[in-house]
Structure 1
Amino acid sequence: MKKFKVVIADDHPIVLMGVRELIEKDILFEVTEQAGTPSDLIKILNVSSPNIVITDFNMPDDHVYGDGIKLINYILRNYSSTDIIVLTMLTNSLIISSLYDLGVRGVVFKNGDLKELIVALNVVSQGGCYYPPNFSLKPMSLRNQEDVKKKISKISVKEFEILRHFVSGLSVGEIAVLLNRSIKTVSAQKISAMRKLELESDQDLLKFCIAKNIFDN
Protein backbone atom coordinates (compact mmCIF):
# COMPACT_ATOMS: atom_id res chain seq x y z
CA MET A 1 0.00 0.00 0.00
CA LYS A 2 1.34 3.40 -1.00
CA LYS A 3 1.56 5.74 1.96
CA PHE A 4 1.06 9.50 1.91
CA LYS A 5 4.28 11.29 2.86
CA VAL A 6 3.84 13.85 5.63
CA VAL A 7 6.24 16.50 6.98
CA ILE A 8 5.46 18.13 10.33
CA ALA A 9 6.75 21.49 11.60
CA ASP A 10 6.44 22.96 15.08
CA ASP A 11 8.83 24.81 17.37
CA HIS A 12 7.80 22.68 20.37
CA PRO A 13 9.58 19.27 20.46
CA ILE A 14 6.83 17.72 22.60
CA VAL A 15 4.21 18.68 20.01
CA LEU A 16 6.34 17.23 17.23
CA MET A 17 6.73 13.97 19.12
CA GLY A 18 3.03 13.72 19.94
CA VAL A 19 1.90 14.49 16.41
CA ARG A 20 4.38 12.04 14.92
CA GLU A 21 3.26 9.22 17.23
CA LEU A 22 -0.38 9.94 16.41
CA ILE A 23 0.13 9.93 12.64
CA GLU A 24 2.30 6.84 12.56
CA LYS A 25 -0.52 4.80 14.09
CA ASP A 26 -2.39 5.22 10.80
CA ILE A 27 -1.23 2.87 8.04
CA LEU A 28 -2.09 5.40 5.32
CA PHE A 29 0.45 8.02 6.39
CA GLU A 30 4.20 8.18 6.92
CA VAL A 31 6.06 11.03 8.64
CA THR A 32 9.19 11.40 6.54
CA GLU A 33 10.68 14.53 8.13
CA GLN A 34 10.09 17.01 10.93
CA ALA A 35 11.21 20.61 11.39
CA GLY A 36 11.52 22.92 14.37
CA THR A 37 11.79 26.22 12.47
CA PRO A 38 10.46 27.69 9.21
CA SER A 39 13.97 27.61 7.72
CA ASP A 40 14.31 23.91 8.55
CA LEU A 41 10.94 23.29 6.91
CA ILE A 42 11.91 25.08 3.70
CA LYS A 43 15.20 23.14 3.56
CA ILE A 44 13.20 19.90 3.69
CA LEU A 45 10.79 21.06 0.98
CA ASN A 46 13.72 22.03 -1.24
CA VAL A 47 14.92 18.43 -1.40
CA SER A 48 11.72 16.41 -1.02
CA SER A 49 8.11 16.56 -2.15
CA PRO A 50 5.80 15.42 0.64
CA ASN A 51 2.12 15.02 -0.07
CA ILE A 52 1.13 17.01 2.99
CA VAL A 53 2.79 19.49 5.34
CA ILE A 54 1.38 19.93 8.83
CA THR A 55 2.71 23.19 10.23
CA ASP A 56 2.20 25.37 13.26
CA PHE A 57 1.00 28.91 12.48
CA ASN A 58 3.26 30.72 14.97
CA MET A 59 6.94 29.72 14.90
CA PRO A 60 8.86 32.83 15.97
CA ASP A 61 12.53 33.82 15.72
CA ASP A 62 12.95 33.07 12.02
CA HIS A 63 13.94 36.21 10.15
CA VAL A 64 14.40 34.49 6.79
CA TYR A 65 10.97 33.07 6.05
CA GLY A 66 8.97 34.41 9.00
CA ASP A 67 5.93 32.53 10.18
CA GLY A 68 2.16 32.79 10.02
CA ILE A 69 0.63 34.11 6.81
CA LYS A 70 4.01 34.99 5.31
CA LEU A 71 5.44 31.48 5.67
CA ILE A 72 2.29 29.71 4.53
CA ASN A 73 1.91 31.96 1.51
CA TYR A 74 5.55 31.25 0.59
CA ILE A 75 5.01 27.48 0.77
CA LEU A 76 1.82 27.63 -1.27
CA ARG A 77 3.47 29.65 -4.03
CA ASN A 78 6.70 27.67 -4.23
CA TYR A 79 5.62 24.09 -3.46
CA SER A 80 2.22 23.86 -5.11
CA SER A 81 2.22 20.05 -5.22
CA THR A 82 2.19 19.88 -1.41
CA ASP A 83 -1.03 20.38 0.54
CA ILE A 84 -0.97 22.26 3.84
CA ILE A 85 -2.75 21.56 7.10
CA VAL A 86 -2.27 24.22 9.78
CA LEU A 87 -2.09 23.03 13.39
CA THR A 88 -2.57 26.03 15.66
CA MET A 89 -3.72 27.52 18.95
CA LEU A 90 -5.05 30.48 16.95
CA THR A 91 -8.85 30.64 16.70
CA ASN A 92 -9.29 34.11 15.15
CA SER A 93 -11.99 33.51 12.52
CA LEU A 94 -10.59 36.22 10.21
CA ILE A 95 -7.15 34.61 10.15
CA ILE A 96 -8.56 31.11 9.76
CA SER A 97 -10.82 32.18 6.89
CA SER A 98 -7.87 33.88 5.22
CA LEU A 99 -5.85 30.67 5.40
CA TYR A 100 -8.51 28.88 3.39
CA ASP A 101 -8.63 31.80 0.95
CA LEU A 102 -4.89 31.40 0.40
CA GLY A 103 -5.22 27.71 -0.35
CA VAL A 104 -4.66 25.88 2.94
CA ARG A 105 -6.50 22.55 2.82
CA GLY A 106 -7.23 22.17 6.52
CA VAL A 107 -6.95 23.74 9.98
CA VAL A 108 -6.82 21.79 13.25
CA PHE A 109 -6.95 23.53 16.62
CA LYS A 110 -4.38 22.47 19.20
CA ASN A 111 -6.79 23.07 22.05
CA GLY A 112 -9.23 20.53 20.57
CA ASP A 113 -8.98 16.80 20.10
CA LEU A 114 -5.75 16.10 18.23
CA LYS A 115 -7.35 12.97 16.79
CA GLU A 116 -9.07 15.42 14.46
CA LEU A 117 -5.68 15.62 12.74
CA ILE A 118 -6.16 12.10 11.41
CA VAL A 119 -9.60 13.06 10.13
CA ALA A 120 -8.07 16.10 8.44
CA LEU A 121 -5.31 14.01 6.86
CA ASN A 122 -7.84 11.57 5.44
CA VAL A 123 -10.01 14.36 4.01
CA VAL A 124 -7.08 16.22 2.47
CA SER A 125 -5.46 13.06 1.09
CA GLN A 126 -8.72 12.41 -0.80
CA GLY A 127 -8.66 15.87 -2.36
CA GLY A 128 -11.02 17.62 0.05
CA CYS A 129 -10.77 20.48 2.52
CA TYR A 130 -11.07 19.89 6.26
CA TYR A 131 -12.86 22.46 8.43
CA PRO A 132 -12.73 22.38 12.25
CA PRO A 133 -15.92 21.31 14.07
CA ASN A 134 -18.32 24.21 14.69
CA PHE A 135 -16.21 26.56 12.59
CA SER A 136 -18.14 28.74 10.17
CA LEU A 137 -16.15 29.83 7.12
CA LYS A 138 -17.06 33.44 6.46
CA PRO A 139 -16.32 34.78 2.98
CA MET A 140 -14.59 38.14 2.93
CA SER A 141 -14.82 40.88 0.38
CA LEU A 142 -12.07 43.20 -0.77
CA ARG A 143 -12.68 46.34 -2.75
CA ASN A 144 -10.62 46.65 -5.87
CA GLN A 145 -7.91 49.27 -5.48
CA GLU A 146 -6.34 50.87 -8.54
CA ASP A 147 -3.88 52.94 -6.54
CA VAL A 148 -2.65 50.39 -4.01
CA LYS A 149 0.99 51.49 -4.06
CA LYS A 150 0.03 55.11 -3.58
CA LYS A 151 -2.09 54.28 -0.54
CA ILE A 152 0.56 52.03 0.99
CA SER A 153 3.18 54.74 0.56
CA LYS A 154 1.17 56.95 2.92
CA ILE A 155 1.54 54.49 5.80
CA SER A 156 4.24 55.39 8.33
CA VAL A 157 6.94 52.93 9.43
CA LYS A 158 5.29 52.48 12.84
CA GLU A 159 1.87 51.90 11.27
CA PHE A 160 3.34 49.39 8.83
CA GLU A 161 4.93 47.50 11.74
CA ILE A 162 1.59 47.30 13.51
CA LEU A 163 -0.16 45.98 10.39
CA ARG A 164 2.52 43.32 9.97
CA HIS A 165 1.94 41.99 13.48
CA PHE A 166 -1.85 42.26 13.09
CA VAL A 167 -1.77 40.12 9.94
CA SER A 168 0.43 37.57 11.75
CA GLY A 169 -2.45 37.01 14.17
CA LEU A 170 -1.63 39.27 17.14
CA SER A 171 -4.30 41.36 18.87
CA VAL A 172 -3.92 45.09 19.53
CA GLY A 173 -3.09 44.32 23.16
CA GLU A 174 -0.41 41.78 22.21
CA ILE A 175 1.12 44.20 19.71
CA ALA A 176 1.24 46.89 22.38
CA VAL A 177 3.18 44.61 24.72
CA LEU A 178 5.51 43.44 21.94
CA LEU A 179 6.33 46.97 20.75
CA ASN A 180 6.26 48.53 24.22
CA ARG A 181 3.54 50.99 23.26
CA SER A 182 0.23 51.75 24.90
CA ILE A 183 -2.88 50.00 23.62
CA LYS A 184 -4.35 53.41 22.86
CA THR A 185 -1.35 54.32 20.69
CA VAL A 186 -1.36 51.03 18.80
CA SER A 187 -5.11 51.25 18.22
CA ALA A 188 -4.82 54.82 16.94
CA GLN A 189 -1.97 53.92 14.57
CA LYS A 190 -3.88 50.92 13.24
CA ILE A 191 -6.97 53.04 12.63
CA SER A 192 -4.82 55.68 10.91
CA ALA A 193 -3.37 53.05 8.58
CA MET A 194 -6.84 51.75 7.76
CA ARG A 195 -8.02 55.24 6.86
CA LYS A 196 -5.04 55.70 4.52
CA LEU A 197 -5.90 52.41 2.85
CA GLU A 198 -9.59 53.38 2.76
CA LEU A 199 -10.61 50.23 4.59
CA GLU A 200 -13.45 50.13 7.08
CA SER A 201 -13.04 46.91 9.04
CA ASP A 202 -10.46 44.46 10.38
CA GLN A 203 -11.85 41.95 7.92
CA ASP A 204 -11.16 44.24 4.95
CA LEU A 205 -7.70 45.09 6.31
CA LEU A 206 -6.66 41.48 6.71
CA LYS A 207 -7.95 40.49 3.28
CA PHE A 208 -6.29 43.51 1.66
CA CYS A 209 -2.86 42.79 3.16
CA ILE A 210 -2.96 39.13 2.18
CA ALA A 211 -4.32 39.65 -1.33
CA LYS A 212 -1.71 42.30 -2.13
CA ASN A 213 1.18 40.33 -0.58
CA ILE A 214 2.15 43.41 1.40
CA PHE A 215 4.24 41.44 3.89
CA ASP A 216 5.66 38.91 1.48
CA ASN A 217 9.08 40.51 1.22
Structure 2
Amino acid sequence: MDTLNVVIADDHPIVLVGVRELIERDARFRVMGDATCSNELVALLESEPVDLVITDFNMPGDSPYGDGLKLVEYLTRHFPKVRIVVLTMISNPLILTRLHELGVLAVIQKNQLHDEIQAMLKAIARGNPVRSNGPQPTSVMDDGADLDERFTRLSPKEHEILRLFVSGQSVNEIARGLNRSAKTISTQKISAMRKLEVSSDQDLLTYCLERNLFN
Protein backbone atom coordinates (compact mmCIF):
# COMPACT_ATOMS: atom_id res chain seq x y z
CA MET A 1 0.00 0.00 0.00
CA ASP A 2 1.04 3.63 -0.48
CA THR A 3 2.27 5.57 2.52
CA LEU A 4 -0.65 7.22 4.32
CA ASN A 5 -0.32 10.81 5.51
CA VAL A 6 -1.44 11.40 9.10
CA VAL A 7 -2.21 14.53 11.12
CA ILE A 8 -2.53 14.39 14.93
CA ALA A 9 -4.53 16.91 16.99
CA ASP A 10 -4.44 17.10 20.78
CA ASP A 11 -3.73 19.89 23.24
CA HIS A 12 -1.68 17.63 25.52
CA PRO A 13 2.00 17.49 24.41
CA ILE A 14 2.50 14.08 25.99
CA VAL A 15 -0.35 12.62 23.94
CA LEU A 16 0.98 14.20 20.75
CA VAL A 17 4.44 12.80 21.34
CA GLY A 18 3.12 9.37 22.29
CA VAL A 19 0.82 9.04 19.27
CA ARG A 20 3.50 10.36 16.91
CA GLU A 21 5.99 7.82 18.25
CA LEU A 22 3.55 4.95 17.72
CA ILE A 23 2.78 6.02 14.16
CA GLU A 24 6.37 6.63 13.17
CA ARG A 25 7.25 3.05 14.10
CA ASP A 26 5.24 1.92 11.07
CA ALA A 27 6.81 2.85 7.73
CA ARG A 28 3.41 2.62 6.05
CA PHE A 29 2.36 5.89 7.75
CA ARG A 30 3.86 9.38 7.68
CA VAL A 31 3.05 12.11 10.22
CA MET A 32 2.57 15.33 8.24
CA GLY A 33 2.07 17.55 11.28
CA ASP A 34 0.33 18.01 14.59
CA ALA A 35 -2.11 20.56 15.98
CA THR A 36 -3.05 21.72 19.46
CA CYS A 37 -6.38 23.33 18.54
CA SER A 38 -9.13 23.14 15.93
CA ASN A 39 -7.79 26.12 13.98
CA GLU A 40 -4.39 24.50 13.54
CA LEU A 41 -5.97 21.19 12.54
CA VAL A 42 -8.13 22.72 9.82
CA ALA A 43 -5.17 24.78 8.55
CA LEU A 44 -3.11 21.60 8.17
CA LEU A 45 -5.90 19.85 6.31
CA GLU A 46 -6.22 22.79 3.94
CA SER A 47 -2.50 22.88 3.22
CA GLU A 48 -1.43 19.21 3.18
CA PRO A 49 -2.71 16.06 1.44
CA VAL A 50 -3.98 14.08 4.44
CA ASP A 51 -5.40 10.55 4.56
CA LEU A 52 -5.97 10.12 8.29
CA VAL A 53 -6.74 12.51 11.17
CA ILE A 54 -6.33 11.40 14.77
CA THR A 55 -7.96 14.06 16.93
CA ASP A 56 -8.92 14.57 20.54
CA PHE A 57 -12.67 14.98 21.12
CA ASN A 58 -12.20 17.93 23.49
CA MET A 59 -10.12 20.74 21.98
CA PRO A 60 -9.29 24.07 23.67
CA GLY A 61 -9.82 27.62 22.55
CA ASP A 62 -12.61 29.66 21.03
CA SER A 63 -12.58 28.36 17.47
CA PRO A 64 -15.29 28.74 14.82
CA TYR A 65 -14.78 25.03 14.12
CA GLY A 66 -15.52 24.15 17.73
CA ASP A 67 -14.66 20.75 19.14
CA GLY A 68 -16.45 17.52 19.89
CA LEU A 69 -19.31 16.70 17.55
CA LYS A 70 -19.25 20.14 15.96
CA LEU A 71 -15.64 19.72 14.87
CA VAL A 72 -16.16 16.16 13.62
CA GLU A 73 -19.19 17.27 11.60
CA TYR A 74 -17.13 20.07 10.05
CA LEU A 75 -14.31 17.71 9.13
CA THR A 76 -16.58 15.09 7.59
CA ARG A 77 -18.44 17.73 5.59
CA HIS A 78 -15.43 19.67 4.29
CA PHE A 79 -12.86 16.85 4.04
CA PRO A 80 -14.98 13.81 3.12
CA LYS A 81 -12.03 11.74 1.87
CA VAL A 82 -10.09 12.04 5.13
CA ARG A 83 -10.57 9.19 7.59
CA ILE A 84 -11.09 10.35 11.18
CA VAL A 85 -10.12 8.68 14.44
CA VAL A 86 -11.35 10.28 17.67
CA LEU A 87 -9.47 10.08 20.97
CA THR A 88 -11.62 10.56 24.07
CA MET A 89 -12.40 9.62 27.65
CA ILE A 90 -16.14 9.94 26.98
CA SER A 91 -18.14 6.73 27.34
CA ASN A 92 -21.66 8.10 26.85
CA PRO A 93 -23.31 5.70 24.37
CA LEU A 94 -25.32 8.53 22.80
CA ILE A 95 -22.17 10.46 21.96
CA LEU A 96 -20.40 7.34 20.68
CA THR A 97 -23.38 6.49 18.52
CA ARG A 98 -23.44 9.97 16.99
CA LEU A 99 -19.70 9.80 16.22
CA HIS A 100 -20.18 6.54 14.36
CA GLU A 101 -23.20 7.97 12.55
CA LEU A 102 -20.93 10.76 11.33
CA GLY A 103 -18.66 8.11 9.81
CA VAL A 104 -15.57 8.21 12.03
CA LEU A 105 -13.20 5.32 11.44
CA ALA A 106 -12.78 4.57 15.15
CA VAL A 107 -13.23 6.00 18.63
CA ILE A 108 -10.24 5.22 20.85
CA GLN A 109 -10.38 5.52 24.62
CA LYS A 110 -7.34 7.36 25.95
CA ASN A 111 -6.82 4.84 28.74
CA GLN A 112 -6.25 2.21 26.02
CA LEU A 113 -4.34 4.49 23.67
CA HIS A 114 -1.16 2.47 23.12
CA ASP A 115 -2.79 -0.87 22.31
CA GLU A 116 -5.68 0.54 20.28
CA ILE A 117 -3.53 2.85 18.13
CA GLN A 118 -1.30 -0.07 17.18
CA ALA A 119 -4.28 -2.33 16.42
CA MET A 120 -5.88 0.43 14.35
CA LEU A 121 -2.75 1.02 12.25
CA LYS A 122 -2.43 -2.70 11.53
CA ALA A 123 -6.08 -2.91 10.49
CA ILE A 124 -5.82 0.10 8.18
CA ALA A 125 -2.63 -1.19 6.61
CA ARG A 126 -4.23 -4.57 5.92
CA GLY A 127 -7.49 -3.08 4.72
CA ASN A 128 -9.41 -4.70 7.58
CA PRO A 129 -12.28 -3.17 9.60
CA VAL A 130 -11.08 -1.15 12.57
CA ARG A 131 -12.39 -2.49 15.86
CA SER A 132 -12.40 -0.78 19.23
CA ASN A 133 -12.14 -2.38 22.66
CA GLY A 134 -13.86 0.60 24.28
CA PRO A 135 -17.56 1.08 25.06
CA GLN A 136 -19.71 0.17 22.10
CA PRO A 137 -22.19 2.66 20.66
CA THR A 138 -25.86 1.98 21.26
CA SER A 139 -28.96 3.68 20.02
CA VAL A 140 -31.37 5.61 22.24
CA MET A 141 -33.92 2.82 21.81
CA ASP A 142 -31.32 0.24 22.86
CA ASP A 143 -30.93 2.19 26.09
CA GLY A 144 -34.54 1.37 26.94
CA ALA A 145 -36.19 4.73 26.29
CA ASP A 146 -36.33 7.13 23.42
CA LEU A 147 -35.16 10.72 23.68
CA ASP A 148 -38.64 12.18 24.15
CA GLU A 149 -39.35 9.86 27.05
CA ARG A 150 -36.07 10.73 28.76
CA PHE A 151 -36.70 14.41 28.37
CA THR A 152 -40.19 14.16 29.87
CA ARG A 153 -38.64 12.77 33.05
CA LEU A 154 -37.30 16.24 33.86
CA SER A 155 -39.19 18.36 36.35
CA PRO A 156 -39.96 21.98 35.37
CA LYS A 157 -37.15 23.19 37.66
CA GLU A 158 -34.65 20.70 36.20
CA HIS A 159 -35.69 21.71 32.68
CA GLU A 160 -35.09 25.39 33.45
CA ILE A 161 -31.71 24.72 35.08
CA LEU A 162 -30.49 22.71 32.10
CA ARG A 163 -31.74 25.38 29.71
CA LEU A 164 -29.73 28.03 31.55
CA PHE A 165 -26.68 25.78 31.85
CA VAL A 166 -26.66 25.00 28.13
CA SER A 167 -26.99 28.73 27.41
CA GLY A 168 -23.60 29.21 29.07
CA GLN A 169 -24.40 30.06 32.69
CA SER A 170 -22.48 28.46 35.54
CA VAL A 171 -24.18 26.84 38.53
CA ASN A 172 -23.42 29.91 40.65
CA GLU A 173 -24.83 32.27 38.02
CA ILE A 174 -28.00 30.18 37.75
CA ALA A 175 -28.33 30.19 41.53
CA ARG A 176 -28.07 33.99 41.70
CA GLY A 177 -30.52 34.45 38.86
CA LEU A 178 -33.11 32.10 40.37
CA ASN A 179 -32.44 33.25 43.94
CA ARG A 180 -31.56 29.75 45.10
CA SER A 181 -28.47 28.24 46.70
CA ALA A 182 -25.72 26.89 44.49
CA LYS A 183 -26.03 23.56 46.33
CA THR A 184 -29.71 23.29 45.37
CA ILE A 185 -28.99 24.11 41.73
CA SER A 186 -26.14 21.60 41.62
CA THR A 187 -28.33 18.86 43.14
CA GLN A 188 -31.12 19.47 40.62
CA LYS A 189 -28.65 19.57 37.72
CA ILE A 190 -27.16 16.23 38.81
CA SER A 191 -30.67 14.77 39.12
CA ALA A 192 -31.47 15.91 35.56
CA MET A 193 -28.24 14.39 34.26
CA ARG A 194 -29.14 11.05 35.84
CA LYS A 195 -32.55 11.12 34.14
CA LEU A 196 -30.91 11.85 30.78
CA GLU A 197 -28.25 9.20 31.51
CA VAL A 198 -25.25 11.46 30.97
CA SER A 199 -22.27 11.44 33.30
CA SER A 200 -20.36 14.69 32.69
CA ASP A 201 -20.90 18.34 31.78
CA GLN A 202 -19.27 17.77 28.39
CA ASP A 203 -21.64 14.89 27.66
CA LEU A 204 -24.61 16.95 28.84
CA LEU A 205 -23.76 19.93 26.65
CA THR A 206 -23.11 17.73 23.63
CA TYR A 207 -26.32 15.80 24.20
CA CYS A 208 -28.47 18.95 24.42
CA LEU A 209 -26.80 21.03 21.72
CA GLU A 210 -26.57 18.21 19.19
CA ARG A 211 -30.29 17.48 19.46
CA ASN A 212 -31.37 21.13 19.74
CA LEU A 213 -33.26 20.41 22.94
CA PHE A 214 -33.49 24.03 24.07
CA ASN A 215 -33.83 25.84 20.72
TM-score by length of 2: 0.69
> Residue 85 of structure 1 aligns with which residue?
85
Cα root mean square deviation, aligned: 3.7
User: Secondary structure of the equivalent of 1:115?
Assistant: helix
> Residue 3 of structure 2 aligns with which residue?
3
CA deviation profile, 1:28-54 (whole Å, cap 9, x unmatched): 111111101111001111122311100
8 Å contact from structure 1 (residues 49, 81) kept in 2 = no
**Aligned counterparts of 2:35 and 2:103: Cα–Cα separation in 1:** 21
**Aligned counterparts of 1:177 and 1:85: Cα–Cα separation in 2:** 36
Matched, 1:98 2:98: yes
Q: What stretches of structure 1 of length at least 5 have no aligned partner?
A: 145-154, 166-174, 192-199
Distance 1:5 1:202, change over 3 A: same
User: Secondary structure of the equivalent of 2:19?
Assistant: helix
2:187 to 184, 189, 209: 184
TM-score by length of 1: 0.68
Deviation at residue 133 of structure 1 after TM alignment: 1.4
Deviation at residue 121 of structure 1 after TM alignment: 3.0
User: Secondary structure of the equivalent of 2:22?
Assistant: helix
**Aligned counterparts of 1:39 and 1:179: Cα–Cα separation in 2:** 31
Tell me the amino acid that sits aligned with residue 162 of structure 1: V
Tell me the amino acid that sits aligned with residue 159 of structure 1: R
**Aligned counterparts of 2:12 and 2:49: Cα–Cα separation in 1:** 23
Tell me the amino acid that sits aligned with residue 41 of structure 1: L
8 Å contact from structure 1 (residues 162, 186) kept in 2 = no
1:162 to 134, 145, 166: 166
Greater than 4 Å deviation, 4+ residue runs: 124-129, 141-144, 155-158, 175-181, 187-191, 200-203, 205-209
User: Secondary structure of the equivalent of 1:111?
Assistant: helix
Q: Which has the larger radius of gyration?
A: 2
8 Å contact from structure 2 (residues 38, 63) kept in 1 = no
Matched, 1:47 2:47: yes
CA deviation profile, 1:42-80 (whole Å, cap 9, x unmatched): 111112231110000111223322111111111111110
Matches within 5 A, 1:10-89: 10-89=10-89
Tell me the amino acid that sits aligned with residue 131 of structure 1: R
8 Å contact from structure 2 (residues 57, 88) kept in 1 = yes
Alignment length (residue pairs): 185
Matched, 1:118 2:118: yes
> Residue 136 of structure 1 aligns with which residue?
136
Deviation at residue 184 of structure 1 after TM alignment: 3.2
CA deviation profile, 1:92-125 (whole Å, cap 9, x unmatched): 2221222111111101111115131122233345
**Aligned counterparts of 2:168 and 2:85: Cα–Cα separation in 1:** 23
Tell me the amino acid that sits aligned with residue 117 of structure 1: I
User: Secondary structure of the equivalent of 1:112?
Assistant: helix
